[in-house]
Each structure stands twice: as structure tokens, then as C-alpha cells.
Amino acid sequence: MLKVLGISGSLRDASYNTSLLRAAGELFDADEVDFSIYDGLKAIPPYDEDDDVAGAPEPVTRLREAVAEFDAILFATPEYNSSVPGHLKNALDWVSRPVATNPLRNTPVAVIGASTGMFGAVWAQAVLRKVCAAIGARVLEVELAVGHAHTRIDENGRLIDDNIREQLQDVVNVLVEQTLEAQERAVAA
């Protein structure tokens, strides 16, 4: 069973990005993939290298262990002022250490995003891909920018746009295929 972790860059309950991850969760083959959404981002403290010497804070350890335990990550991020929300970047800064053995290294990562504006968080997605690549993740060449999210996700958090659902299915398929291929290559090596 493949384990895929969804990480939303939004902390709010009615987040369009978290809704997008929930919609993605319905598109994985449940016999093949165990998909869950990380819920502990809000508890991550600001990165302080002094706190990262002898045992990181517990919420950080939990996040690092979750990233290590899962085979692939699906991020859905909003855009805050043309970039990644600060708390998500901060969480990734924690995950990035120790450099050589950080749990994101070689992990297949797909990035999607939603915003209420027309561009669907494309700049935040680009920044997030760059950050994940810098950390050593295997960033997949997939993209899904959900603009005008309030017209595509209803007040109950349901994705109501079939075209977006098809594109989301493509992202899900690529993530699964490429994660399985990477695992096969690792076994063969």
C-alpha cells in the first residue's frame, strides 16, 4: 500500500486548498493508496536553530516523522502576497534539517493550489516547487492552478467543477505512477 500525505498550506477550517486535498483523496484508488491529510501545521513554532540542536520541539518531530513515513507528498497551497504562506515555509525549514538526511530528500512531491483570484496561486506553487527542490525532494512536473476557487468549491467544501476534477485525477495518477516507478528503481539499484 502506497502512503501519500496531503499537506495544505492553509490553516483555516473552510480552506479551498484543504477541500482540494479532500477531493484528491477521493480520486486515489483506495485499494492501492492510503491517503491522509496532515493536521499539525499550526502547532509548528518559528524555526530557531538553537531549538534544533538536541531534539526538536514535539510538533516538529511529529511532522518530520510523518514526512519520513509517507512515500509521497501532495501539497495544496494558497498564495499569500505572491508567495508561499509563511507558516508553510517555516514548517519546510524545519523539515529541511538535517540537510543530508532530511525526510523530504528524494520524496516524490506534487504541488497544486487554489486561490480566489484568477491565477490559482501559480506564483506560490512555483515558489513551493523551488523550495521543495532545494530541500532535495523529487518535484514532479505536474501543475493544477484552481483560480476563482469560490466558484469551483461549494460552501460545503465539495469540488463542483468536473474539469478541475479531471485535472486533479491526472495529478493523482502521475503522483502514484512516478512514486511506484521511483520505488521500483530503488529496489533494483
Ligand X SMILES: Cc1cc2nc3c(=O)[nH]c(=O)nc-3n(C[C@H](O)[C@H](O)[C@H](O)COP(=O)(O)O)c2cc1C
Q: Which residues bind ligand X (CB under 6 A)?
A: 10, 12, 15-17, 78-82, 114-117, 119, 121, 149
In angstroms, give the least distance from the CB of 122 to ligand X: 8
In angstroms, give the least distance from the CB of 74 to ligand X: 14
Nearer to ligand X, 90 or 116 (CB): 116
Nearer to ligand X, 12 or 130 (CB): 12
**Cβ neighbours of residue 23 under 8 Å, at least 6 residues apart?**
153, 158, 159, 165, 168
40 closest CA partner among 59, 22, 58, 57: 59
In angstroms, give the least distance from the CB of 164 to ligand X: 14
In angstroms, give the least distance from the CB of 82 to ligand X: 5
Nearer to ligand X, 65 or 117 (CB): 117
In angstroms, give the least distance from the CB of 78 to ligand X: 3
The SS3 assignment for 159 reads strand
Nearer to ligand X, 71 or 79 (CB): 79
Distance in angstroms (rounded) separating the CA atoms of residues 80 and 97: 25
With cell 484508488, the residue in question is: 29
Nearer to ligand X, 61 or 82 (CB): 82
Q: What is the DSSP string of 67-99?
A: HHH-SEEEEEE--BTTB--HHHHHHHHHHT-SG
